[in-house]
């Protein structure tokens, strides 16, 4: 991928900005080039269809991030469901009160460690989606956080969602 400038000693905010910029530049193109197929799959696969979309969107940027030495701090377990090579379904929240059936929000989190195994913070990945038909009512969002403990991350997500709702 051209124009991706990831350095070894970035803060979570700098890494989040790179991820955010990639999402902003690519989410719609990936959606448009796969929309017909995903719309057809939605009646059978429902919410899993959004995972199929993310499996097409995220891997190119995640590959570059990993090549620069950044990784999820948490080890993957055998029964974990990983989306887009980095989003662990176990580390996500979706609350009905954050939206409506045609505009739900699921927020994933990834605690990030650098090549020195230092936890630098957490990336939140928010996906707005519909439970009625395949539709992304707004672009995916990336938010960096300093929090790295599960309970603190969950509390921060709830606080942020209540602010934005």
Domain boundaries, the chain: 12-164
Structure confidence at residue 4 (pLDDT): 74
What integer best gives the mean pLDDT of the chain?
A: 92
Give whole-number Cα distances, 113 to 36, 88, 127, 149, 150, in Å. Answer: 37, 15, 23, 13, 15
User: Are the beta carbons of 30 and 53 closer than 8 angstroms?
Assistant: yes
Model confidence over 77-107: pLDDT tens digits?
A: 999 999 999 999 999 998 756 677 788 889 9
Model pTM score: 0.92
């Amino acid at each position: 991928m051209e124009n991706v400038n990831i350095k070894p000693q970035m803060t979570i905010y700098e890494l989040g900005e790179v991820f955010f910029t990639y999402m902003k530049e690519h989410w719609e193109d990936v959606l448009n080039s796969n929309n017909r197929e995903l719309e057809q799959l939605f009646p059978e696969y429902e919410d899993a269809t959004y995972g199929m979309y993310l499996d097409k969107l995220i891997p190119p940027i995640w590959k570059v991030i990993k090549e620069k030495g950044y990784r999820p701090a948490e080890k993957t377990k055998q029964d974990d469901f990983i989306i887009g090579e980095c989003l662990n379904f176990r580390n996500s929240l979706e609350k009905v009160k954050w939206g409506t059936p045609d505009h739900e929000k699921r927020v994933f989190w990834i605690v990030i460690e650098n090549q020195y195994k230092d936890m630098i913070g957490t990336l939140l990945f928010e996906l707005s989606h519909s439970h009625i038909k395949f539709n992304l009512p707004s672009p995916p969002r990336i938010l960096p956080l300093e929090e790295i403990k599960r309970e603190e991350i969950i509390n921060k997500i709830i606080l942020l969602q209540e602010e934005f709702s």
